[in-house]
Structure 1
Amino acid sequence: MRSIVTGGAGFIGSHLVDYLVSSGDDVIIIDSLVSGNINSIRNHLDSDKVRLVSADLLEDNWQEELAGADRVYHLAADPDVRESSVSPDRQLNNTIIATHRVLEAMRKAGVLEIVFTSTSTVYGEASVIPTPEIYTPMEPISIYGASKLACESLISAYCHSFSMRSWIFRFANIIGDRSGHGVITDFIRKLKDNPDELEILGDGKQTKSYLEVRECIRAIMYVINHSNDIVNTYNIGSEDWVSVSEIADILCHEMGLSPDYRYTGGYRGWVGDVPKMQLDISKLKLLGFVPGLNSRESVKIAVRATLE
C-alpha cells in the first residue's frame, strides 16, 4: 500500500511507521517536526520505502502528496492535555482545523480511507467504568478532549458524505520508547534534578489504564484488517489500571531510589485531568484481539525504555 502518516515522526507515529515499513508499505511522512523527532525515523530515511515531507498541516504545499495514496493515518496533533487549558487556540488549530484540512485534501485527491487517533478524554468523567464506546453523554472536560471529539464528528460526516471509510481509536494512556511527555518522563526529569524528593501532582490516587506503544500499534492494525464498517470506532487500552503513586513506586524501584513523595494536593493533577479512567475493550476482544500486556507490565517496559 501507499500510506500517508501525518505526525509520523512523533511518539506513536514513528512506531506506526516502523510497522508499516516492516509490512512492505511505501510511506510518506508529513510532519512539521515541531513536536516530532527526526531521530525517531532516521533509520528509515535512507530507504526508498519512506519519504519525509517537512510541512505544517495548517499551511499548504503538502496536499499533492496524497495523490495516489491508499490510506491516510492521521496522527498529527498537539498531544499536551495540560497545555490545552493554557493555549486553547493552539489546540483547536492543530487538531480540529488541521483535521479538516486533511479531510479536504483526501476528498480532492480521492483517498477514501482514514485512520484517526483519538483519546479516552472524549468521554470526560464517565460514570460507567470501564467505559464502552457507546457511552453517553460525551462531555469532555479538557480542550484536548473536546478537540478530538470534534474531529471524530468531522470524520464521520466526511465518511457518510463522500463515501470514505474510517477507523477511530480512543486510546488509554499509551506509553513506551520515544515518548517525550507524560507522567513517566515527568518523574524521571524531576528525580534527575533531585533524587531525594519527588513532586507528584494531585493526591497520587489518580488511577488510569496504560498500554505499551507497540502493543497499541498491533491493536490498531488488527482492527483495520478485521473491521469494515463506514465508521469503525474502538477503544484501545488494557484491562486494568494503576495509580500515579504506583507508577512512582515502579520507577523509583527501577532507578534504585527512595525519595520522599510530595503531593501537590487535590484529586486532579491539573485542569482537565480525568482522575479515574479505564476503557471497556470488550468490542476489541469480540473482534479477536486481546492485549498481551496489562498496565503494570506496560509501565515497567516504558520505564526501562525511557531510562536507557
Structure 2
Amino acid sequence: MTGLGAVFRPQLPPERLRAIARLAEDSGLDELWLWEDCFLEGGISAASAALAWTERLRVGVGLLPVPLRNVALTAMEAATLARMFPGRATLAVGHGVQSWMGQVGARAESPVTLLREYLHALRALLAGERVTVDGRYVKLDGVALDWPPAEAFPILAGVTGPRSLRLSGEAADGTILTASNAPEQVRRARGLIDEGRETAGRTDPHHVVIYLRAATGPDAEARLRAEIEADGDGTGAEHGVAGDAETVARAVRQLADAGADTVILQPTADEPDHEAFIRFVAQEVRPLVP
C-alpha cells in the first residue's frame, strides 16, 4: 500500500502543532511530517511533542541538516525517539540548504563526503556498534550508545543530485525526494539509487518518500502556481497538483507508479485552512489511494 501523509509546515507557529497532530490522529492520517528549516522550528523537539500528543500517528522529520548536528547527538536523539515511540518515528538527514549552513558557519567544503561519513557512522551507532572513525568531518573515539534502539531504526537521506542519490542507495535505508520531482524524475532517481545499492551490494528494502505540492479549494490553482514559481520550478504543472480529491489522488498514484513508496502532500505556504487540509488528505484522498 502506498503511504500517504501531510506536512506541518514550519511557517506555522509551533504552538499550533498540538492541535494539528491530534487532528491528524483523529482523522486517520497515516503520517505527519515536519521540517527543520532554518531558522524556524527544531525537528527533534517538534517530533517528540507530536509523538507524545498522539498514540498511533507516525511522525517524520525531513530533514535534519548534518552540518548543524554532531552525529553522536543525532544518534542519541534518534535512539531516544525509537525507544519511547517504537515504530512511529522516521528521521531523514541531508546536506541542508548551503546558504543557511554558511550563515551559521557550518558549511562543509564537500557536502557529499560529510553525508557519506555521517550516514555510515549514524547507522552503525543505531545498530548498537561501538564506533571509532577519523574521517574528514566525522570523528568518533570508541562511541557507543547506552540505549540503542530496541529494533532496527531506518535512516533516510534527503538528497537531490546524482552523486547524492547514489550515496543514498549506498549508505541510507531510504530516500526523501523534494516536490520538484515529477514522475519521470522519480524513475530516474530510483535508477541512481539502485546504482548505489548495487555498488554497495545491498539487497535490503529502500523506502522512497516524496513530497507533493497540493492545493484544493476555489483558489487552489493560483496558489499552487505561485508557490511553484516562488520555489524556482517555473510554471510546470507536473511539480504539484491542484483540485479535488480524485485529482490529487491521481497525482499520488502516478508518483507511486514511478517508484515512490510514500507520498507526503505539502500544502502551500499560504494555505488558508491547515486543519481542513489535514482532513482533506486523511478522509477524502486516502480512500482513493490503494
Relative to the length of structure 2, the TM-score reads 0.36
Relative to the length of structure 1, the TM-score reads 0.35
